[in-house]
A and B are shown apart, each in its own frame.
Chain A
Amino acid sequence: MKAAPVAELRRAVTTWGSYSWGYADVGADIYVALGVVVGIAAGAANVAFAFAGIVYVCIGLAYTELAAAYPVAGGGQFFVMRALGDFIGFVAGWAVLLDFTIDIALFAWFTIGYISFLFPWLVTHQLTYFICVLATTAFLTVLNGVGVKQSSRLNELVSVLDVVTETIILVSAFLLVWNPQVLLHTMQTHWPTTENLLKGVSLAIISFVGLESISHAAEETRRPTTVIPRTSVALILTILIFALSYSNLVLGMSPIHLSNGTTVPMFQYVGSTDNNDKAIAVLASQIPGVLGVLFAFYVPMVGALLVLISSNSGVFGASRIAYSMAKFNVLPSWFQRTNAKTRTPLGTIICFSGISVIELVAAYLQGTQAIGFLTDLYAFGAALSYTLVFAALMTLRFTDSVAPRRFKMPWNIPLTVAGRKGDLSLLSVVGMIGIVAILVFTLLTHPIGRIAGPTWVILGIVFYAIYRRKHGMPILRSLKRDWVKLHEHTLTGAGEIEMLDEYRAGVAAERAAANKP
């Protein structure tokens, strides 16, 4: 008799590895968001970051609960499909794919932005600048296409380097150049219009995009149900501390005296179109003394490296998500194919990198609004996918209440909905309201995001409908799947034996209760 196949244990990612996997993605966001948000939200930039930060904490906790309960590579797309079915699952995955393609484009743009701090002539040669951005995208595509894997060690090293660097920047700046009276004065005299404040809030959410990455690595993380809650919470706190600190710092720094004799508030200087693609480097270089001189050389390099890694995470993140979606028949099986020679999903990588190039060209054609175009779409994709993840979390609390959760969002109220017992986290309701508000702000205040974002979703739905129909699969209904077996397999693969026992006992009790006359 043939032995039953044994689940493979792939638990190579350590605690720090899991953290740096997420940090390589989310950690880079503040390098992008700071200049963009202070440029729009002006004296209320700290308020915009605080509002987005509250929503982000809720999203982070929702991801933490779901990723620890379902340690699978699909992340948000899987959670939504598991809770709300194939169609909505596809929409969530498609929104995440939009974010990953924007991630490639936007962060490639900022890689050159930070490099341009060291080579200022790039700023005045816009076409050369843009060619460098395209070359960066091509370089990452080739790198991933030929199978050069992003080194976890590099991630870990850059994460340590960046956390230490940012802490030193913030500590030295708060000690040496920050004044609370300047902060209050800036807030009073430069309070933005309501439209700009709402736009600022919806853009501030981009400084917190990328929590998906921890979920993607969940399948390879050692002891995922214990490690992921810790790394996620640590990531949430680190990023929140940095985002809130930078936004208050930039508003409380003394005005800068330009060479033409004029004086401008620091936030205006950092948020100007000349500087918003290298905001952290500009800010760090304003620290007086040797530190400022050192930072002027060092921070652009660390920034460029971190955003380059983040751009790269967009390339492999997109191929990973597409692979996971194809596995569940919500995308064609073509996305699962690997090239015989390189053993990588070459077609998928080229496909999504190609979409990024189209987005880059579209952005370039917007002139000075290029970054705005990309960030609008980024905010739309994030807000849509996060909204669906909240809906998934709330649903799964009732439809799959037996799945053990080592971490739960706090403030729970026990409820019975349609005969199913479960509980509802009040924090998830707060988060849901917050992210829906941000989605509405995005649609109201971003002229490009309002059109391009929904267009992306509609095109995706058409593509999905054609694919499912062609293969005789339902469009709005879901395919039948044995979720119990799949979850058992996931827990076995993760080595979570105690959780597996708990889950089996829960399922057995649920079935016994259902069979009771």
Chain B
Amino acid sequence: MLAVHPVGAVIATAIVAAISSTMYRMLNAPSNRAEQIAQHADRQAKEIAGDVLVVFSADIHSEVLMALAARMAKGRQAQLVALYVIEVPYTLPIDAELPQQEREALQVLTAAEEIGRKAGLEIQTRTTRDRQTGPAVIQAAREESANLIVMGTYRESRYAGAPMGQAIEYVLSQTHTDVLIGVSSSMEGDSMLSLGPLPLRKK
């Protein structure tokens, strides 16, 4: 019959306590400034990944940023909404038939859904019509209670006095939500943020 001596039990307990507390203290070193910044930035990044509105239009191409946003949102409780804005010219009624633009919207949003699926996320898509992209984005962001608006590379057919494009300038001036803008380094499609031409399919 084994008998545990009380002094032995006390020493055994003390050994476990001493080793555990030594390890705990060692592994919980106070962070330095660089680590504090990194931790804080990471926390912030988690917060902004709450509800994200990714904007597409004829001039705004957000596929690459959509993929980035999907990666960011993965594993967190985040809602991704892909919004396509069809700009209706003032010369037409707002509900005029625009089959080419609607087809383009459908194609872009299907691709956005696929990007979300690849990242393991279910995303919402919506198409909206407006005279201008900027107000439509502000309206949608309000309705979706977005924490972040993502606007991809901007390609405007003509310069209209806004260096980053009228839609982006408008959104920046009108919203209180954070905006993530992807500024492409080139118009030629060889920037990392531009989708660029699709690779040729192998025959």
The answer to whether the Cβ of A368 comes within 8 Å of any Cβ in the partner chain is no
Docked-complex contact A245 and B11, CB < 8 angstroms: yes
A450-509 contacts to B, CB under 8 A, are 495, 498
Binary contact readout B16-34 vs A (1 if CB under 8 angstroms, 0 otherwise)? 1011001101110110111
The answer to whether the Cβ of B9 comes within 8 Å of any Cβ in the partner chain is yes
Docked-complex contact B19 and A238, CB < 8 angstroms: yes
Docked-complex contact B29 and A245, CB < 8 angstroms: no
- A171-B12, A288-B2 are known contacts. Are A227 and B29 too (CB-CB below 8 A)? yes
| A175 partner, pick from B9, B27, B33, B35, beta carbons under 8 A | B9
Chain B neighbourhood of A495, CB < 8 A: 34
Docked-complex contact A16 and B27, CB < 8 angstroms: yes
Q: How far is the CA of A226 from the CA of B27 in the complex (A)?
A: 11
Q: How far is the CA of A174 from the CA of B15 in the complex (A)?
A: 10
Shortest Cβ distance from B167 into chain A, in angstroms?
41
The answer to whether the Cβ of B198 comes within 8 Å of any Cβ in the partner chain is no
Chain B neighbourhood of A132, CB < 8 A: none
Docked-complex contact A171 and B30, CB < 8 angstroms: no
Chain B neighbourhood of A391, CB < 8 A: none
The answer to whether the Cβ of A138 comes within 8 Å of any Cβ in the partner chain is no
Docked-complex contact A226 and B29, CB < 8 angstroms: yes
Shortest Cβ distance from B160 into chain A, in angstroms?
42
Shortest Cβ distance from B103 into chain A, in angstroms?
52
Shortest Cβ distance from B83 into chain A, in angstroms?
42
Shortest Cβ distance from B10 into chain A, in angstroms?
9
Docked-complex contact A179 and B8, CB < 8 angstroms: yes
Q: B7, B26, B29, B35 — which one has the most chain A CB atoms within 10 A of its CB? A: B26
Docked-complex contact A175 and B12, CB < 8 angstroms: yes
Chain A neighbourhood of B25, CB < 8 A: 230, 234
Binary contact readout B63-81 vs A (1 if CB under 8 angstroms, 0 otherwise)? 0000000000000000000
Chain A neighbourhood of B11, CB < 8 A: 174, 178, 245, 248
Q: Which residue from chain A places its CB closest to the CB of B33 in the assembled complex? A: A498
Q: How far is the CA of A241 from the CA of B21 in the complex (A)?
A: 12
Residues of B contacting A: mostly: helix
The answer to whether the Cβ of B201 comes within 8 Å of any Cβ in the partner chain is no
Docked-complex contact B2 and A230, CB < 8 angstroms: no
Docked-complex contact A180 and B33, CB < 8 angstroms: no
The answer to whether the Cβ of A143 comes within 8 Å of any Cβ in the partner chain is no
| A167 partner, pick from B4, B15, B27, beta carbons under 8 A | B15
Chain B residue total in the interface (Cβ 8 A) = 23
Chain B neighbourhood of A167, CB < 8 A: 15-16, 19
The answer to whether the Cβ of B5 comes within 8 Å of any Cβ in the partner chain is yes
| A176 partner, pick from B4, B15, B16, B27, beta carbons under 8 A | B4
Docked-complex contact B29 and A171, CB < 8 angstroms: no
The answer to whether the Cβ of A223 comes within 8 Å of any Cβ in the partner chain is yes
| A163 partner, pick from B7, B19, B32, B33, beta carbons under 8 A | B19
Docked-complex contact B7 and A241, CB < 8 angstroms: no
Chain B neighbourhood of A289, CB < 8 A: 2
| B29 partner, pick from A230, A248, A498, beta carbons under 8 A | A230
Docked-complex contact B2 and A15, CB < 8 angstroms: no
Chain A neighbourhood of B7, CB < 8 A: 180
Shortest Cβ distance from A213 into chain B, in angstroms?
16
Q: How far is the CA of A248 from the CA of B8 in the complex (A)?
A: 11
B124-161 contacts to A, CB under 8 A, are none
Docked-complex contact A245 and B8, CB < 8 angstroms: no
Shortest Cβ distance from A16 into chain B, in angstroms?
7
Binary contact readout A281-294 vs B (1 if CB under 8 angstroms, 0 otherwise)? 00000001100000
Q: How far is the CA of A38 from the CA of B34 in the complex (A)?
A: 49
Docked-complex contact A241 and B19, CB < 8 angstroms: yes
B27-52 contacts to A, CB under 8 A, are 27, 29-30, 32-35
- A15-B26, A231-B26 are known contacts. Are A178 and B19 too (CB-CB below 8 A)? no
The answer to whether the Cβ of A233 comes within 8 Å of any Cβ in the partner chain is yes
Chain B neighbourhood of A227, CB < 8 A: 29
- A237-B18, A245-B15 are known contacts. Are A175 and B30 too (CB-CB below 8 A)? no
Docked-complex contact B22 and A174, CB < 8 angstroms: no
The answer to whether the Cβ of A100 comes within 8 Å of any Cβ in the partner chain is no
Q: Which residue from chain A places its CB closest to the CB of B21 in the assembled complex? A: A237
Shortest Cβ distance from B146 into chain A, in angstroms?
38
Q: Which residue from chain A places its CB closest to the CB of B2 in the assembled complex? A: A176
Docked-complex contact A171 and B16, CB < 8 angstroms: yes
A305-323 contacts to B, CB under 8 A, are none
Shortest Cβ distance from A142 into chain B, in angstroms?
35
Q: How far is the CA of A356 from the CA of B41 in the complex (A)?
A: 52
Chain B neighbourhood of A15, CB < 8 A: 26-27, 29
Docked-complex contact B16 and A237, CB < 8 angstroms: no
Docked-complex contact B26 and A233, CB < 8 angstroms: yes
A155-195 contacts to B, CB under 8 A, are 163, 167, 170-172, 174-176, 178-180
Q: How far is the CA of A172 from the CA of B5 in the complex (A)?
A: 12
Q: How far is the CA of A171 from the CA of B5 in the complex (A)?
A: 12
Docked-complex contact B5 and A170, CB < 8 angstroms: no
The answer to whether the Cβ of A110 comes within 8 Å of any Cβ in the partner chain is no
Shortest Cβ distance from B55 into chain A, in angstroms?
39
Q: How far is the CA of A231 from the CA of B22 in the complex (A)?
A: 9
The answer to whether the Cβ of A267 comes within 8 Å of any Cβ in the partner chain is no
Shortest Cβ distance from B98 into chain A, in angstroms?
55
Docked-complex contact B4 and A171, CB < 8 angstroms: no
Query: B residues near A, CB below 8 A?
Result: 2, 4-5, 7-9, 11-12, 15-16, 18-19, 22-23, 25-27, 29-30, 32-35
Query: A residues near B, CB below 8 A?
Result: 15-16, 19, 163, 167, 170-172, 174-176, 178-180, 223, 226-227, 230-231, 233-234, 237-238, 241, 245, 248, 288-289, 495, 498
Q: List 20 A-B contacts (CB under 8 A).
A: A15-B26, A167-B15, A170-B15, A171-B15, A174-B8, A174-B9, A174-B15, A175-B8, A175-B9, A176-B2, A176-B4, A178-B11, A180-B5, A223-B32, A223-B35, A234-B25, A241-B18, A241-B22, A288-B2, A495-B34
User: Top 8 A-B pairs ranked by shortest CB distance?
Assistant: A234-B26, A174-B12, A171-B12, A174-B8, A178-B8, A180-B7, A230-B26, A237-B22
What 5 additional pairs, Cβ within 8 angstroms, besides A226-B30, A237-B18?
A167-B16, A179-B8, A180-B8, A223-B29, A234-B25
